[in-house]
A and B are shown apart, each in its own frame.
Chain A
Amino acid sequence: MKRRQQGILTGMPFMTHVSSRAFVDDAGRRIYLAKPPARVVSLAPSITEMLFAIGLDEQIVGVTEFCDFPAAAKSKAKVGYSNPSAEALIALRPELVLAPRDFLRPDLQTKLEQLKIPLFFLEAQTVEDILLQIHTLGKMFEKVPAANEVTQSMRQRIAEIRRKVETPPARRVLYVLNSQPLITVGPGSFIHQMIGLAGGVNIAAQAGMAYPKLSMEAVLKDDPEVLIFPSGEVETVPRSEQQQWRRWDSLSAVKQQRFHEVSSNLLNRPGPRVVEALEQLARAIHPEVFGSGESTGHP
């Protein structure tokens, strides 16, 4: 409050650098940072990965228990994930807290405002959003060259993948988030957009929600050519459950044995490794244009 008033009172002409130190987050809130924060807490794995990618290892003082990449993230103090502890957070004396928008807790927000700890929301709905966020963080922490480097190489790799999947006709894809009952991703979810970028057509595009319970009848009608299952350290859709899909033998994906796994950690994190997720997806949907790379499928 005080600092912002100072900026206003002393007048803009003298303070051209000030306006560039003001930032608007994805919830439309405006914060002002006089200098790059020396202590930052990240409340999402994707945000942690972005901070590390632009070389902020030293500034990160707190992360969530799900922040497992890069390895250095594991040794940082933990403040919880869906339910971050206000006390643990404040004890870290952060100069900035970066949070995903969906884990917004009004009580915590009020507490931070009270203590004058700036809180900044990040919400990436598209791949373009991720690139913009990395730039914003670069400006915040005066790491613009590093941020540019990261986004440039990301853009290059994305363009390369897009070039490859442009030629073959798009394939119909079903992403099986949960098998029984069947839950998938729809418009408004990040993964839905990724499927499109990777040269696929999501058969749940008509469902009109981000995580619809999809009817099996609709699946049979729309006949996906590729089935994609999330996989991870904790098998999200176990192989035994994947095998149960074999009974729908009228599906093209079953006839052609097109069952693929994509790392759920990569797919669910709108951060710098989104490029790797995109490549895994593209390989699953169009293996023929990637030559003899490692296949993500299984017999």
Chain B
Amino acid sequence: MTTLGILALTAIAVSFVCLHFGAQPIAYGEILRVFVDAVSRKEINSGTSDVATTILLHVRLPRMLLGFLVGCSLATVGVALQALLRNPLADPYVLGVSSGAALGAAVGVLLGAGTTFLAETALPAYGFAGGLLALVVVYRMAASYEQLPIHSLLLTGVILNAIFSALIMFITSILEPNRSYGMMAWLMGTLTAPTYGGLAGLAVYLSIGLFLLFSQMRVLNILALGEDSARTLGIDTEKAKRFIFVLTALVTGAVVSVSGMIGFIGMVVPHAVRLVTGADHRLLLPASALVGGTFLMGADTIARTLISPAEIPVGIITALAGGPFFVYLLLWRKDRLA
């Protein structure tokens, strides 16, 4: 519990620092004043001419909350997939689930299911369908082995990513130029400031998925031991696996349809956390969620401020931070992958 407490406090501290940075840094005293004001007025009222207030309450804060939600979700899904496939490199991005969801969302845009990548549209459903398509292939692969060799799984991901990317590129190429600009920016992994209504909608949707994933902590622990032990303990492994797979697709689909393909969080964060907490999912899952949220919030702050007033897609930042870690694991820490 102390670990989670420390992580929660860290998240709060980091979020304060993130609130300070942006296109225009806002002093910490000013941040407190704005919040006290907003609370004392008992409503979040945007009808103010005070730019600092508008920026804080309607751009920076909702975007940070979105970043936290997305980071939480990706890390949680990463933990679940790693346990399910008993493979430390599993991650929605690497396995092609993210690009499957992105393809789903792109098809949704093409069909006019939503013109913006916001939670207020039907896009999460399309993302879910695309993510599920990818997971069905991964599941079939995994089902044909007692334990899928790491390289086969990665190859499956590479191939799925290649196929989905080709289709996404095709869709991008038939959209009119202005639209395709937006699509490209979204694909690279982008957070935008949502409305509180949209944020709440997404939060409800994701909370259900995450809550159900968290309810499987014990099952994940048992699955991580191996199929035989699980069966001995009287768990219907196939059913449990299918249920968890569908949940990961549900969460990934929603996240991708809102923020595009943000990679590596689902893989790097659980690893880093495991070094501290060990392999017990009852601690690993919530701790990874907190760290994932904090990490993406921080990465997005860099994305917002580095070349201000312009922005960098946050997916580029996470890939630059996470890619080398992936290579390091693959080359030097084979023991951790065993």
Contacts and interface: CB of A to CB of B under 8 A. Distances in A.
Interface of A: 82, 177-183, 186, 204, 206-209, 211-218, 220-223, 230, 232, 234, 236-238, 240-241, 244, 247-250, 264, 268
Contacts of B47: 249
B49 A182 contact: no
B310 A221 contact: no
Contacts of A247: 46, 58, 195
B146 interface: no
A218 B51 CA distance: 10
Interface of B is mostly: loop
Given A220-B51, A241-B115, A249-B46, A178 B308 contact: no
A214, A237, A250 pick with most chain B CB within 10 angstroms: A250
A250 B115 contact: no
Interface stretch (B95-103, B134-142, B179-187, B227-235): B179-187
B247 interface: no
Given A177-B181, A180-B182, A217-B60, A209 B310 contact: yes
B23 A217 contact: yes
Interface in B296-310: 304, 307-310
Given A181-B190, A181-B192, A212 B309 contact: yes
B59 interface: yes
A16 to B, nearest CB: 45
A206 B309 contact: yes
Nearest to A264: B178
B171 to A, nearest CB: 15
Contacts of B312: 213
B335 interface: no
A215 B304 contact: yes
A238 to B, nearest CB: 5
Interface string B90-132: 0000000000000000000000000111100000000000000
A217 B178 contact: no
A183 B182 contact: yes
A207 B309 contact: yes
Contacts of B177: 268
Contacts of B51: 220-221, 223, 250
B322 interface: no
A241 B114 CA distance: 10
Contact of A220 (B55, B186, B304, B310): B55
Given A211-B181, A217-B60, A218-B23, A180 B117 contact: yes
Contacts of A232: 176
Contact of A180 (B54, B116, B307): B116
Contacts of B178: 177-178, 230, 236-237, 264
B107 to A, nearest CB: 18
Contacts of B117: 180-181
5 contacts: A204-B309, A217-B308, A220-B54, A222-B309, A250-B51
Nearest to A232: B176
A181 B192 CA distance: 6
Contacts of B308: 215, 217-218
A223 B24 CA distance: 13
B193 interface: yes
Nearest to A230: B178
A213 B48 contact: no
B222 to A, nearest CB: 42
Contacts of B176: 232, 234, 236
Nearest to B53: A250
B88 interface: no
A248 B54 contact: yes
Contact of A214 (B115, B182, B311): B311
A130 B70 CA distance: 47
B23, B49, B173, B179 pick with most chain A CB within 10 angstroms: B23
Contacts of A186: 310
Given A181-B192, A216-B192, A221 B59 contact: no
A211, A213, A249 pick with most chain B CB within 10 angstroms: A213
Contact of B311 (A180, A213, A220, A237): A213
B116 A216 contact: no
Contacts of B54: 220, 248, 250
B304 A178 contact: no
B313 interface: yes
A36 B307 CA distance: 49
Nearest to A211: B181
B192 A221 contact: no
A103 B230 CA distance: 59
A221, A222, A237, A248 pick with most chain B CB within 10 angstroms: A221
B22 interface: yes
A205 to B, nearest CB: 9
B70 to A, nearest CB: 14
A238 B311 contact: no
A237 to B, nearest CB: 7
